[in-house]
Structures are given as C-alpha cells and as structure tokens.
Structure 1
Amino acid sequence: MRTYDLSPLFRSTVGFDRLTRLLEAATNGEEAASYPPYNIEKLGEDAYRITMAVAGFGPEDLEITAQQNSLVVMGKAKKEQEAGQFLYRGIAGRAFERRFQLADFIKVSGASLLNGLLHIDLVREIPETMKPRTIKIEAASNGPALTQQAA
C-alpha cells in the first residue's frame, strides 16, 4: 500500500485545512461503508444529483442534513414484525449514515423519494460578488489635468 507524506503542504499553505484533511482521508483509505449504494450525476453546468438506493425506507425513516460543506443522509431502521421464519435475508434494512463533502457554494435544492430511490438535487450558486465582472476602460482625455502636469 502506498503512503504519501503531505506534511510539506501543511508547512506552506494557510487556510487549506479542509482540503488537506480530504486528501489525507482519501490516501489513507478511509472509505465509508458501501451501504447504501449511490450514484452522483452531473445534470448540467451547475446542477448535480445524488441518488441513493434506500429500498424499504419511507420519508419518515430518512433524514437529510446540510451544513456548511457537508451533507449527511441518515436512515433509521424499522423494527419488523416477525411474521415468519426467514430462510434467507438479503434485503438490508439496517440503519445507515452517509456523509458527502460538498464544494464551496453547493446548495441542496430539493429531495424526493420514488420507487426506493432517494434523489437529492444540488446546485452551485456562486454569489454575485464572487463572479467575474468586466471593468469598463475609459479613454483618457487631453483635458486640463494633463496640461497642468506639464507646467
């Protein structure tokens, strides 16, 4: 297994703590459990969707929390009534917690549950002050300001 020493990054950067933690977690193999399975789609220039397979969970069993640059999806397990004896139990109905790290300016725009699939729609909303703007260049005039400087 490869290991990477990221300490030179810590010595020469300021304010990138979150990024270095993400890099360390990725290189150290800290991976969340594989349940429930999910997809991440890019729907457009600034639109994304996370789709999670949550068969057996209803809207009342799921909780979605967005805070700063983090999205947490939790599912609460239901107690099933023992109607019979299971010979094989392959449908997972256990509680889960799945965390996603969101980039700056990514906001949750909505969520829906359809046919056992939880869809979480995300959109990138860059504030107007952060968007590039064009600065108008005005032509200099040969008015009195130039003649006074020459004198």
Structure 2
Amino acid sequence: MRNFDLTPLYRATVGFDRMVDVMDRALSADIASYPPYNIEKTGENSYCISLAVAGFSADDLNVEVRDGAVIVSGRKAAEDENRTFLHRGIATRAFERRFTLADHVRVEGASHADGMLNIDLVREVPEALKPRRIEIAKQGTSIEKLDA
C-alpha cells in the first residue's frame, strides 16, 4: 500500500484544513471490518448508516456526534463465565466506528432493531447556499440595489 504525504497541501492552501484532514484520515485509516455496515441514500437529502450489531443491546451501544463526525461505539457488558462455547462465531468485542459528516449534514435519529443499528442523517442546505434565480433588468428600467 502506498503512503501519501499531504503536507504540501497544508502549505499551499488556506481554509481547506477540514478537507485535507478527511483525506488524510481516509488514506491512513486502518481498514476495519467490524462491525459490517451499509451507507444508503434514502432520499435526495437523506441517508442511513446501518451497522450489524448482533449480540449488542441498545444499552451496549453509544452514538455520539463530535467534531463533524458520527462516532458509534459498542461495549458488551461482562458475560457469564459459566458458559462454555463449542463454537463462537458471533463477535461481541468492543468497537468504535467513525463516520465523517459533510457540511450541513446532521444526525436526525438512531434506532436499534433485529440486530441492526440504523442512524438517520439529513442534509440541510442553508438558503444562502441554494441556487437562486437573478432577474435580468430590461433596457430602460432601473435596477434596484440589494441591501448589503
């Protein structure tokens, strides 16, 4: 695997710190496979992150929004030592998953059912960033100036 040094981007750009941090995290992150997850686009401005958390109850899970990211962690309570497994295929080890959010994306809610943790996200673009139509004045009419 190649290692990329993003230091030149820090020296040559102003105001792109978050984007460079996201790229740096994506390129240097360990490829973790537990727990498996899906990211689904459920509408024009809505998304859902689904994590397979078999063996975890809602009380064992924590969803937190911090520093522009959704952080999902799970820690199973201590198990009964008297149980003897002949095969243990359901992993219940502690985990932490981080999903970086784009600007104007917020967590709308989370639900836990049938071994799946679903986190609903919505993108709310501010009016100032939405496209708007500018009327073109016809010749011979005055143009009203916008208040600054």
Shorter-normalised TM range: 0.7 to 0.9
TM-score (norm 1): 0.83
Q: Which residue of 1 aligns with 2:146?
A: none
Gaps of 5+ in 2: 143-148
Q: Deviations over 1:57-88 (max 9, x none)?
A: 11111111113421011112111223432222
Identity %: 52
Q: Which residue of 1 aligns with 2:14?
A: 14
TM-score (norm 2): 0.84
Secondary structure of the 1:33 match is coil
Gaps of 5+ in 1: 144-151
Q: Point out 4+ residue stretches in structure 1 off by more than 3 angstroms.
A: none
Kindly provide the amino acid, as one letter, of the partner of residue 61 in structure 2: L
Secondary structure of the 2:8 match is helix
Secondary structure of the 2:50 match is strand
Give the direction of change, closer, same or farther, for the CA distance of 1:91–1:25 in structure 2 (3 Å limit). Answer: same
> Do the aligned partners of 1:32 and 1:98 also contact (CA within 8 Å) in 2?
no
Q: How far 1:142 moved relative to its partner?
A: 6.9
- Distance in 1 (CA, whole Å) between partners of 2:57 and 2:82 is 20
Give the direction of change, closer, same or farther, for the CA distance of 1:74–1:140 in structure 2 (3 Å limit). Answer: same
- Distance in 2 (CA, whole Å) between partners of 1:76 and 1:84 is 19
Q: Deviations over 1:106-144 (max 9, x none)?
A: 11112111100011111111111221211222224379x
Q: Which residue of 1 aligns with 2:56?
A: 57
Secondary structure of the 1:42 match is strand
Aligned Cα RMSD in Å?
Answer: 2.0
Is 1:43–2:39 an aligned residue pair? no
Of the two, which has the highest radius of gyration?
1
Give the direction of change, closer, same or farther, for the CA distance of 1:5–1:84 in structure 2 (3 Å limit). Answer: closer
- Distance in 2 (CA, whole Å) between partners of 1:26 and 1:4 is 11
> Do the aligned partners of 1:69 and 1:101 also contact (CA within 8 Å) in 2?
yes
- Distance in 2 (CA, whole Å) between partners of 1:68 and 1:131 is 25
Q: Which residue of 2 aligns with 1:124?
A: 123
